[in-house]
Structure 1
Amino acid sequence: MLKKLSLSFCSLLLVLFVGASHDSIAQTATLRGVLIDSVGMPIRSAIVQEGKNKQNFYLTNDKGGYILTLPADSTITVFFSHPSFSPRAFEVRLTENEIKTLDARLFKQIYHLKEVEISGDKTQQELRDKPSTVFVKGDDLREIPVGYGEFTQQLVASGALGIASNNELSSDYSVRGGSFDENLVYVNNIEIYRPFIARAGQQEGLSFVNTNMVEDIEFSSGGWEAKYGDKLSSSLNIRYKKPVDFGGTLEASLLGGSLTLEGASKNKKHSAIIGARYKSTEYLLSTLQTQGEYKPRFGDVQSYLSFDISGKDKYGKTYIDAVLSYGANRYSVFPSTRSTNFQTGEGINNLTIAFQGKEQLDYDTFQGGLKLIHTFNPKLTSNLITSAMITQERERSNLESGYRISDLEDLGGINGNVTERGLGGEFQYSRNTLKGNVFIIENRNEYEHNHFWRTEVGFQAKFEDIEDNLNEYKVKDSADYVISVEDQFRAVNEVSSQRYSAYLQSTYLSPSDLHRITVGLRGTYWSINEEVNVSPRLQYAFRPEWKRDIIFSFATGVYYQPPFYREMRRPDGSLNLDLKAQGSMHFIGGIDYNFEQWGRPFKLISEVYYKQMWNVVPYDVDNIRIRYSGENEAEAYAVGIDTRLSGEFIPGTQSWVGMSVMSTKEKVDGDPRGYIRRPTDQRVTFTMFFQDHLPNNPTMRMNMRFMYGSGLPFGPPNNPELRNSFSGGNDYMRLDVGFQKIIALNKQADNPSEEFLKNLSLGVEILNILGNNNVISHTWVSTYDGTQYAVPNTLSQRFFNVKMILHL
């Protein structure tokens, strides 16, 4: 009897359970779809959640897909969220057993939190506390239209404080009145060099930095810490990617192409990224004033490798990183003719030049570094870094030219020459070679006393060997009569030296997070002049307890630049082995303000600065070639204000504007004029980068870069009395616009083989869309009566570039 009751009871429970289950199933519905970003790429590991029900959620798969079971016949709020994207919410109401598809698009989020790890051991708050420092992600740099992904032009357009460039063909840039030789450049803590003997931007080829390999950059316009090296103007720290998955980029355009591949081991302990680039600016150079047969061929291969060789020690971690690069650059030109119309006080004139001969520049450069990182415990980390640079450069030219200066009736006339004002000729000869070897060994250590106090100490030894064979001259004549032999240099210089430096610095953060102060000391020694320099440096940031997110900062310090080979070489080719280090004292005050406008994040940075310089080595600039006097014979100063505003002017995209006002002057011994403008005295610069997309189709994009710089001073060659006396007519203004369509290739991929391709970007760039005749230098020519005219040498004209980028 009990057995029968038990069976009956169990049967009843089973019927009730099945019925309840049936009712439950009948009262649900299914929501499914794909989560993508602004360019149509799937977002994996995003959370799709039913309202506040934390028990009912789904993590999107590798294709961005999700499936979520929801109650039927009820209005439900579905949340989509991911740490890197702005969250979104949708209200849905599904009927019983309904299966509905809801695809959603998320846009990148920009955080203003106190502690968000974004750059190795640095936090966003720590970066904000650094005066004159701007942090830019590699993804944002790659959006800037610059023709062939020239990193320097992207850096200048990024709105970094105080930076300017007047030559889109060159990797040159100036920071707050300094020359390019006054800038530090690091890639993963390895110092980078550039070629020495290039005369013009079109000869330079590829800059070292491969933008497709960049994770982020940290750029300081002054007042940087003691742990960074010995220059006067700026410090640029570039961090290459450390990939965690397979990926790559294939890029092709009318100006060249590149291939970048990246990947990681299955356990994510080892990674590699390799990039190869090829650049040919033949089409672009055809827009220059001088017509001829240009043959520019530039290429390089780079890699960044990282290996985790840690043992089983709980705290001890060991890594080996390697950066390797080889660049081969070949430039030759057979110029034929040039015709330039220019304005003088007497009217419009024309300069016509016919050429015969050839210019050639070849250089091969190897740069590489090996870094051993060991974490002894959570508080102590040590880095041992070795790096080397080997360069071989060769310049050959045999170039004869004849010129004629004529008056013109008007610019639009054909054969409008009415008066011949001068005839002349010139012969240029050069046979220059340079070999350079630099080897560096360095140790950097960091000790974290606690959350509020960190100490860093390091030592570096650098060994340099330079061998320079200089043989060049220029002959000018008029009506077959030799007037002069100018710019004659003949020298054989060999320099071997050792440099030693050390630093100690400590950073303190107050427990309330209101104050951060870094105090450091740096010392240097150079074996050539046996000079010892000591540089105290200080950075301070104050964050008041206001509702507004504002940081006030101040930095000061002494910065020395011991001479390198180029500063030592006098105009006649001889070396000044007693040349002392140039010195500079920085004073910088600034504000960093994060705010929201239209419900979107923005950042305003503004700084004022003053730099006093002594033991200055004066120089003149012709195109990109810097010729130093080789003597400590001047003092100088720079004063100015920089401002940068960045944010989401268009939702989901980063744009920015930057403006600088500056004055830099120098007083050269023996010059009765007193303080005169320096070659880099550009009073006003303005940069803007703007991104936009179609409102309902973010895959259709537009990028715009605008740059303006007021004119630089100039003067006739070999005339100290008129050095840097003239200006006007050489303002730099350029507008580049890019349009692109991004096509997602694996959005609906079900076959794993199809996931190899991610998206395809097809674009058109219009470079220098306004067709401005930007002046880079002047050619000085004489008329029959001895009058000298400065004929402007202009840069590239309007150019249409077609670009394709395939992401793997």
Structure 2
Amino acid sequence: MKRLQLTLLLSLLFSALSFSQTAIIRGVILDETNTPIEGVNIKASTGEGAATNTNGFYEFRIPSGIEVTVEFTHIGHSRIVQKFQLKNGQELEFNPVMKVDVEQIPEVVISTNTRQNDDGVVNIDPKTLRTIKGAQPGIENILKTLPGVNISNELSTQYSVRGGNFDENLVYVNEIEVYRPFLIRSGNQEGLSFVNTDLVSNVDFSAGGFQAKYGDKLSSVLDITYRNPVAFGMRADLSLLGGSVAAEAVSKDGKFSGIAGVRYRDNSLILNSLETEGNVEPVFADAQTYLTYRFSDKFHLNFLGNISLNQYNFQPENRQTNFGTLQEPVALLVFYDGNEEDEYQTYFGALKANYFVNDNLTLKFIGSAYHTLEQEYFDIFAQYRLGEVNTNIGDENLGEVEFSEGIGSQLTHARNDLDAFIVNAEHRGDYKIDEESTVEWSVKYTHEDIRDRLVEYEIIDSAGFSIRPPNFSIPNLQPYQPYEGPLTAFEDIRALNRVQIDRVQAFAQYSKRTEWGNNEVFYNAGVRLHNWTVGGENLESNTQTVVSPRAQFAIKPDWDKDMLFRVAGGLYYQPPFYRELRDSSGVVQPNVKAQKSFHIVLGNEYSFKIWDRPFKLVTEAYYKGLSNVNTYTLENVRVRYSADNNAKAYAYGLDMRLNGEFVPGTESWFSFGYLKTEENIDNRGYIARPTDQRLKFGALFQDYVPNMPDLKMYLNLVYNTGVPGGSPSYADPYDFQVRLRDYRRADLGISLQLVNPAKTYNTKWKKKFRELSLGFEIYNMFNNQNSITNTWVRDVYTKRQFAIPNYLTPRVFNLRLSARF
């Protein structure tokens, strides 16, 4: 399927460069078991023709404005004849299903994609995205099974790649960069992923060593392509966690096409299963559309729009967390008063104009605007008891706290508001020098206008005494001497920032595919330039510039074994975004430099067959040497920066992924990753970074019942070793290097296809559907207690602080109904 997806993408690009009076027919030919058929002969009455490739894909042109008869033939299958009459420039997708000819029973050998990825990009089948669901569905649910990608919070769509943090990943939709909200600090508050899987036609992901045409981030690129419809269709999905509806259509003359989707998400079923009990109202909704109008064969105009409205209201009541050992069990019991009200509204719109000058030259203009309005309000008073737990089996007080080691209270307050407006204007172009060589370039201007009010404080009281920050200058000798100084919050952050950032970015790169003796060779070289200026109220303007050279080289030796070797690397910079400029006290530091990383990746792809079915083993070793590091801490999913380039770091590791048809007709994969990343702050020595997830195992396995192929199953498995658990406020991270427990999760999905395209139905109600399935899902099937962060509580007797894990979701059941019209 990977070759099919790439071929579809390339064919869409090439087709747009043709200006003769023709139309295009393309599609995939399957047999009755949904298996692609290779070598189908396709012949048009006007003389045009084609044949399907190893993935069953075909494409050819026919004259427009006249009726053309097309015949599809293949040994062992019944002939198909279809008439077409298309308009000039129209593109039609026709996916026939060929039935077996009972008079001939030949042996048909099917082979799927064995093409290596020259540029190290992983291609994910969009059908997999729509089939494999999770507690937080979307592309991120699949990414977490890939090597090098770590997601240790099923409530979050944020991910870290090869030791980077959540802010180091690029996301593009149809070459348009997209953004996410700023203030979210907990996965509970997160809404839907920007990417609507119902609209997707192609997914590419690179975990490092990516090309110069992608932006300035340190870790990864997720490149999404939304599809241009060729016919009317609808898709709907409904579950206990929400639902989605998507529709697509094309005008009669083929000039206008559009696809749109609406999603609604209510995480109450999941959040009500957490340890902290209370009234929770998480409502997330968005509407998204991608429209295309073809003014002529030379000029196309696209529009991408998104509106997202997310609300999270929470009134916590109580919580009990048991931890410690079997010999010394300890529990934290908390009673709450107050509530939290968070709201995130984001609006995004982009216009993309494509001008096809000739067969070799394409010019593009992209203009986009992103506006986010965010509020984070909460006043929560918590009274806690930390003590020993009754472990006497049969006792009516089993599991209750009997002897308190720590008693205290905590008041947290926030009134945070953020208004951010980001506009982009970009020119992109590509010139095809010959069939094997391409030059690409871009110039982009960005203006960021951020208005941010930050008001947070935390007051902690233990055994009747207010706990002050360790760096408070006035000593407190209570209870031996009366304290006459002012009462001070343990943490108090107040800031008002109005910041403007102007950026100019540009890149140029050259790609070529050629031969070296009998070996196939691909190489790519490019350079990026990024200039930015930070200014605003009460800020001294500061301007900086960085240059980022990058290169890739791949060779496929003329060997009997199907192997490919690849090397990629360069200098990667990450100029600071607004959050990276804001220090731990909320003050913006305009002089923060771009973080710098020397990145090198060595890769190998080995394609082979087992059981006469295709498999591929991909192995990558990588090293990152980082300087000008802007250190940070993680609080659930919120990244808090020091805004000081006072550290250096490194990351190295090994990623492996084996994918193929472990079960005929389905794609599954198993992945392994080893990572080590450390940082040296102020030359004090190396310690683990917050994302130092040492080992990772992931698997996505699909299967079906042999005698009932419509009854399917998927299993999504993830195992990660624990990351550092963080440190209390004001504490020295060098003194707190205890890791969280290992993350283990298994999600199971079972679906029954009531209707699928490979069958013909006489029942009236089934005729209305192209696909219809009923699913049952179990999230966290083995009910593992995974944690995301620690809550630090002080013991009044020993004065030490306990790291109390904040557990994630337990086992949850879900029902799902999916339909396609």
TM tier, shorter chain? Answer: 0.7 to 0.9
Q: Per the alignment, do residues 626 and 605 of structure 1 end up closer, same or farther by CA in structure 2, a change over 3 Å counting? A: same
Structure 1 counterpart of 2:664, from 651, 663, 668: 651
Structure 2 counterpart of 1:448, from 424, 432, 436: 432
CA contact 2:451–2:497 (8 Å) conserved in 1: yes
- Distance between the aligned counterparts of 2:168 and 2:380, measured in 1? 32
User: What are the residue-to-residue correspondences of 1:237-636 with 2, within 5 Å?
Assistant: 237-310=223-296, 317-343=298-324, 347-410=328-391, 414-416=396-398, 417-484=401-468, 485-511=489-515, 514-528=520-534, 529-636=542-649
CA contact 1:459–1:502 (8 Å) conserved in 2: yes
Q: Per the alignment, do residues 569 and 446 of structure 1 end up closer, same or farther by CA in structure 2, a change over 3 Å counting? A: same
Tell me what 2:113 maps to. Answer: 111
Tell me what 2:792 maps to. Answer: 780
Q: Per the alignment, do residues 340 and 381 of structure 1 end up closer, same or farther by CA in structure 2, a change over 3 Å counting? A: same
- Distance between the aligned counterparts of 2:441 and 2:30, measured in 1? 47
Tell me what 2:129 maps to. Answer: 141
CA contact 2:136–2:157 (8 Å) conserved in 1: no
CA contact 1:47–1:80 (8 Å) conserved in 2: no
Structure 2 counterpart of 1:744, from 755, 759, 763: 755
Q: Per the alignment, do residues 107 and 319 of structure 1 end up closer, same or farther by CA in structure 2, a change over 3 Å counting? A: farther
- Distance between the aligned counterparts of 1:48 and 1:229, measured in 2? 42
Query: What letter corresponds to residue 550 of structure 2 in structure 1?
Result: R
Query: What letter corresponds to residue 574 of structure 1 in structure 2?
Result: V
Query: What letter corresponds to residue 510 of structure 1 in structure 2?
Result: T
Q: Report the alpha carbon displacement of residue 112 of structure 1 after superposing the two structures with TM.
A: 3.0
Q: Per the alignment, do residues 35 and 562 of structure 1 end up closer, same or farther by CA in structure 2, a change over 3 Å counting? A: closer
Give the TM-score of the pair, scaled to structure 2: 0.83
SS in 2 for 1:527: strand
Describe the superposition over 1:4-56 as per-residue Cα deviations: whole angstroms up to 9, x where unpaired: xxxxxxxxxxxxxxxxxxxxxxxxxxxxxx9865479x99x98799xxxxx9x
- Distance between the aligned counterparts of 2:349 and 2:607, measured in 1? 39
Bigger mean CA offset, 202-211 vs 505-514: 505-514
Tell me what 2:727 maps to. Answer: 716
Tell me what 1:7 maps to. Answer: none
Query: What letter corresponds to residue 783 of structure 1 in structure 2?
Result: D
- Distance between the aligned counterparts of 2:611 and 2:706, measured in 1? 16
Q: Report the alpha carbon displacement of residue 91 of structure 1 after superposing the two structures with TM.
A: 5.2
Query: What letter corresponds to residue 609 of structure 1 in structure 2?
Result: Y
Query: What letter corresponds to residue 240 of structure 2 in structure 1?
Result: L
- Distance between the aligned counterparts of 2:40 and 2:623, measured in 1? 48
Query: What letter corresponds to residue 428 of structure 1 in structure 2?
Result: T
- Distance between the aligned counterparts of 2:33 and 2:733, measured in 1? 56
Q: Report the alpha carbon displacement of residue 367 of structure 1 after superposing the two structures with TM.
A: 1.2
Tell me what 1:667 maps to. Answer: 680
CA contact 1:304–1:321 (8 Å) conserved in 2: yes
SS in 2 for 1:92: coil
Q: Report the alpha carbon displacement of residue 346 of structure 1 after superposing the two structures with TM.
A: 6.8
Tell me what 2:12 maps to. Answer: none
SS in 2 for 1:707: strand
Q: Report the alpha carbon displacement of residue 206 of structure 1 after superposing the two structures with TM.
A: 1.0
CA contact 1:602–1:645 (8 Å) conserved in 2: yes
CA contact 2:690–2:726 (8 Å) conserved in 1: no
Structure 2 counterpart of 1:153, from 118, 122, 141: 141
SS in 1 for 2:557: coil
Percent identical pairs in the alignment equals 38
Tell me what 1:174 maps to. Answer: 160
In the TM superposition, structure 1's runs of 4+ consecutive aligned residues that sit over 4 Å from their partners are 34-40, 45-49, 80-91, 104-109, 411-414, 749-755
Say whether 1:192 aligns with 2:178: yes
Q: Report the alpha carbon displacement of residue 111 of structure 1 after superposing the two structures with TM.
A: 3.0
- Distance between the aligned counterparts of 2:750 and 2:810, measured in 1? 19
SS in 1 for 2:129: helix
Structure 1 counterpart of 2:701, from 687, 690, 702: 690
Q: Report the alpha carbon displacement of residue 265 of structure 1 after superposing the two structures with TM.
A: 2.1
SS in 2 for 1:181: helix
CA contact 2:390–2:397 (8 Å) conserved in 1: no
Query: What letter corresponds to residue 319 of structure 1 in structure 2?
Result: H
Q: Report the alpha carbon displacement of residue 598 of structure 1 after superposing the two structures with TM.
A: 0.5
Q: Per the alignment, do residues 205 and 450 of structure 1 end up closer, same or farther by CA in structure 2, a change over 3 Å counting? A: same
Q: Report the alpha carbon displacement of residue 257 of structure 1 after superposing the two structures with TM.
A: 0.5
Structure 2 counterpart of 1:205, from 171, 175, 191: 191
SS in 1 for 2:76: strand
CA contact 1:77–1:92 (8 Å) conserved in 2: no
SS in 2 for 1:519: strand
Tell me what 1:99 maps to. Answer: none
CA contact 2:582–2:641 (8 Å) conserved in 1: yes
- Distance between the aligned counterparts of 1:710 and 1:107, measured in 2? 42
Query: What letter corresponds to residue 330 of structure 2 in structure 1?
Result: N
- Distance between the aligned counterparts of 1:658 and 1:228, measured in 2? 25
Q: Report the alpha carbon displacement of residue 749 of structure 1 after superposing the two structures with TM.
A: 5.1
CA contact 2:580–2:630 (8 Å) conserved in 1: yes
- Distance between the aligned counterparts of 1:508 and 1:278, measured in 2? 45
Describe the superposition over 1:122-171 as per-residue Cα deviations: whole angstroms up to 9, x where unpaired: xxx6xx1013x2111211122223145233122223x2x41110000001
SS in 2 for 1:154: helix
SS in 1 for 2:711: strand
Q: Report the alpha carbon displacement of residue 593 of structure 1 after superposing the two structures with TM.
A: 1.5
Q: Report the alpha carbon displacement of residue 474 of structure 1 after superposing the two structures with TM.
A: 0.5
Q: Report the alpha carbon displacement of residue 87 of structure 1 after superposing the two structures with TM.
A: 8.7
- Distance between the aligned counterparts of 2:569 and 2:31, measured in 1? 47
Which consecutive unaligned segments of at least 5 residues does structure 2 have?
1-28, 44-48, 57-70, 81-93, 469-488, 535-541
Query: What letter corresponds to residue 307 of structure 2 in structure 1?
Result: Y
User: What are the residue-to-residue correspondences of 1:43-82 with 2, within 5 Å?
Assistant: 78-79=76-77
SS in 2 for 1:357: strand
CA contact 1:583–1:614 (8 Å) conserved in 2: yes
Describe the superposition over 1:661-685 as per-residue Cα deviations: whole angstroms up to 9, x where unpaired: 0100000016x3x010000000001
Which consecutive unaligned segments of at least 5 residues does structure 1 have?
1-33, 50-54, 60-67, 71-75, 94-101, 114-124, 312-316
- Distance between the aligned counterparts of 1:248 and 1:106, measured in 2? 34
Say whether 1:769 aligns with 2:767: no
Q: Per the alignment, do residues 106 and 461 of structure 1 end up closer, same or farther by CA in structure 2, a change over 3 Å counting? A: farther
Describe the superposition over 1:304-328 as per-residue Cα deviations: whole angstroms up to 9, x where unpaired: 11111115xxxxx211111100000
- Distance between the aligned counterparts of 1:141 and 1:541, measured in 2? 29
Q: Report the alpha carbon displacement of residue 724 of structure 1 after superposing the two structures with TM.
A: 7.1
- Distance between the aligned counterparts of 1:91 and 1:37, measured in 2? 13
Rg (Cα) greater in structure:
1
Q: Per the alignment, do residues 514 and 77 of structure 1 end up closer, same or farther by CA in structure 2, a change over 3 Å counting? A: closer
- Distance between the aligned counterparts of 1:36 and 1:591, measured in 2? 33
Tell me what 1:725 maps to. Answer: 736
SS in 1 for 2:228: coil
Say whether 1:637 aligns with 2:650: yes
Tell me what 2:13 maps to. Answer: none
- Distance between the aligned counterparts of 1:381 and 1:458, measured in 2? 12
Describe the superposition over 1:422-450 as per-residue Cα deviations: whole angstroms up to 9, x where unpaired: 10100011100000000001111101110
Structure 1 counterpart of 2:118, from 129, 136, 143: 129
Query: What letter corresponds to residue 697 of structure 2 in structure 1?
Result: F
SS in 1 for 2:490: strand
- Distance between the aligned counterparts of 2:811 and 2:763, measured in 1? 44
Q: Per the alignment, do residues 35 and 581 of structure 1 end up closer, same or farther by CA in structure 2, a change over 3 Å counting? A: closer
Describe the superposition over 1:700-724 as per-residue Cα deviations: whole angstroms up to 9, x where unpaired: 0001000011000124313443447
Q: Per the alignment, do residues 542 and 249 of structure 1 end up closer, same or farther by CA in structure 2, a change over 3 Å counting? A: same
Q: Per the alignment, do residues 735 and 411 of structure 1 end up closer, same or farther by CA in structure 2, a change over 3 Å counting? A: farther
Q: Report the alpha carbon displacement of residue 269 of structure 1 after superposing the two structures with TM.
A: 3.3
- Distance between the aligned counterparts of 1:601 and 1:214, measured in 2? 25
